Amino acid sequence: MRIVGRILLVIVILIVVGLIVLYVNLNGIVRRTVQTQSQASLNVPTKLESANVSLFGGEVALKGFEVGSPQGFKAAADDDPGRRGRRREAVGSA
């Protein structure tokens, strides 16, 4: 019985350590997955600066997500990198 108890304790410790490692690396895993899957789905280059996953808040924030233009198309003037950070008002807003 002592051996079975020790084996169960080791299994529980390994599971807890695995969950801690997953939690610590979750933002990087999400960032890489979003970037690779968006490139594969859209067939255009994409870039994601960072991802922040809040497990207890139920939110995911993507920072610096950029989608490139397909071959033969140019980015619109509104997508000029020099204009980033400026506030844009929606049409019809007060």
Cα distances (angstroms) measured from residue 13 to each of 8, 9, 22, 23 = 9, 6, 14, 15
pLDDT surpasses 70 at 2: yes
Q: Which tokens belong to 18? A: 């695995």
Give how far the C-alpha of residue 74 lies from the chain's centroid of Cα atoms, to the nearest Å.
26
Strand ranges inside the chain, DSSP E: 46-54, 59-67
pLDDT (mean) for 7-13? 97
Q: Which tokens belong to 8? A: 């169960």
Per-residue pLDDT tens for 13-53? 999 999 999 999 999 999 999 999 999 999 999 999 999 99
Residues 43, 52: Cα–Cα separation, whole Å: 25
Q: Can you give the pTM of this predicted structure?
A: 0.65
